[in-house]
Structure 1
Amino acid sequence: MAQRIAVLREEAAGERRVAATPETVKKYIALGATVAVEAGAGIGASVSDAAFADAGAEIGPRAQVVAGADIILGIQGPEVASLAGAKPGAWLVAGLNPFAEKARMEAYAAAGIEALAMEWMPRITRAQSMDILSSQSNLAGYKAVLLAAAEYGRAFPMMMTAAGTVSAARAFIMGVGVAGLQAIATARRLGAQVSATDVRSATKEQIQSLGAKPIFVENVKGIEGEGSGGYATEMSEEYQKAQAELVSAHIAKQDIVITTALIPGRPAPRLISDAQIATMRAGSVIVDLAAESGGNVEGAVSGKTIEKHGVKIIGAKNMAGTLAADSSALFSRNLYNFLSAFWDKEAGKPVLDAEIGDAIRVTQGGKIVSARLLG
């Protein structure tokens, strides 16, 4: 019997993305699946019910869509009550935030749902096209610069006019992962003088390749900052002290600062203190892309813009979601790439291997099975 794939309308406040598009609906049907989409699921991402129906999806209320579902797709993990009627052992494929939502993971287990956390996709070559963190962070880095430009009371590029010269804005990017690299590229395109730093020494060449100036702690040996899977890890006290001194001297000269540092499963590292904010000139702007995870910037508030010492601090929240059409297109392709890569034609359904299955599986068989949550 054909696999039934259900696509839900997101429940989280302000979440406009959707986990499938007409493009991926057609592809799932080509695999031999049937697709049901909750009415209104795509409205926030500019996808109408009619567009989903034209692609071959069944449209209906949530209870009808979930009934008999083998696979449920989402952007963020729904409340367990929303999954009532799914088949026993049905897959929930979404960004689940398992560390912060452990009670919800336990509820999924009790309900017999096999929850697969897409943000735990291993960073290996064959899984790159399935990586929701990279696709969404790319857009977040871009939007962070646009937000900074909108709040900044001056121009980004240098402008030479008959009335005099306008100096270029100076932008400093802290954390050079996917979001940071896109922030560098976007700030450069807008004409800013850009510098960047990261705890991983390997990123220096990436910064230079984008035309920005690398700002790195020198003469602190044996500290590379490279954690497992290409993520940054926490630094020694010696490095943190040296970095704080370097940043303090540099940040005082900056007009725009964008922080992007995250450590999976842990609170965001503090990069900028109140005292450092106080050294920046009035009218400067800081965008904290880690605000939802505790913040890189002292005083940052997720989802709000505050002002301290004359400096505006934007606590970014769901930045990719503010570009809902593009972020939905990329996210939905990540999900399709994942499911199609493991689609067994004979079984008529996806069958995971151990490398990826063990990495992303949170619940199975009525219990939490992820070593990352149990350890």
Structure 2
Amino acid sequence: MMTSATTPTKTTDAAHEAAPKHMRSAVPVQTRNDRFHSTDVADFPAVTGREAGWKYTPVARLAELISGVLDGAPYVYDVTTAPGVTTGWVGRDDARIGAAGKPEDRASANAWSAFEQALVVSISGEDAKEVTLTRSSLGDAPRAAHTIIETAPFSRATLILQNTGQAHLAENVELVLGESSQLTLVTVQEWDDDALHVATHFATIGRDAKLKHIAVTLGGGVVRLNPAAHLAGAGSDAELFGAYFADAGQHLEQQVYVFHDAANTRSRVTYKGALQGENARTVWIGDVLIGPKAVGTDTYEQNRNLVLTDGARADSVPNLEIETGDIVGAGHASATGRFDDEQLFYLQSRGITEDEARRLVVRGFLSEIVQQIGSPALQERLQAAIEAELEAVTVATR
């Protein structure tokens, strides 16, 4: 059992007072929830790449988003219509901004400091509905964005965030789920090959509410997506899924955080990725914290990676912290490997060529995640996109 960090002793040392706020603690951070957070980028030091949260990230490639000047003006987007769903821009003084969480790293804080208006998506009505919000013309200038997604009590919806084209984007997305509401959020990254995207998704989940968060990342030069789910209400539920496919030179990163803060909450985290090509790189870090009030917690997280060629690398780091002994269950797992020879032999023995057998294995490996979306049209399109990834580069044999 893990205890919370000790409260640091106050000091009036001049050097201590002059240091950035996050460095003033007299003891190291001991639990995931004790990390420093601020909406002001000036409160964070320069990122060197040696920090725990950045040591797997190519920080030089993201320097303009981490510390550069960002354009925070509203942008053009397309959105489908559905009863009970509205979108619009609000000013920085809107009371809903910051309701779901605050930045824990400099890139997130830089985006927060720079945005001029936030895009609000409001969802109401008990009838199930599906809406797609598309961003396809952000351009290649460094940009900041802030989005708030709020669900009224007992509402139900699937919201698809479709990202295509050019982008050098740092953003924060806040999700505020009302009591007994159900939201499936699907974020699809199909950026151009040279795109840069750093995003933090903050979710606070109310009593008996359920969030299904699905991240599908197929495009972009560097994509770093960090979903954080706060199970704040009793009986709340979070399922976080991810599917990613990295080609040569791509860096696709996910840092997932689930905080069980209320009683009788449940979470499941499943991320699966495939890699092929020289310097293809994926990173998955999964943090689950079961707080002292979260009795009756039921949680499990897992990450699976399939390395298709030499020269590709997958890093996978699951973490679990438990601050109460009265739980239903908690566990985590991680595995990275190549093809199963028995699977390939079975398919080849039935007249399937080796290349096609490998494609079938990868398609089946990732389809578990895609099938969670619940939108037949989007699932079919993403399956076709994965197939195109497999056909673009010949999968090398072992």
Structures share fold, TM-score greater than 0.5: no
**RCO (CA 8 Å, sep 6+): is it higher in 1 or 2?**
1
More strand by share: 2
Structure with higher Rg: it is 1
Relative to the length of structure 1, the TM-score reads 0.29
Relative to the length of structure 2, the TM-score reads 0.28
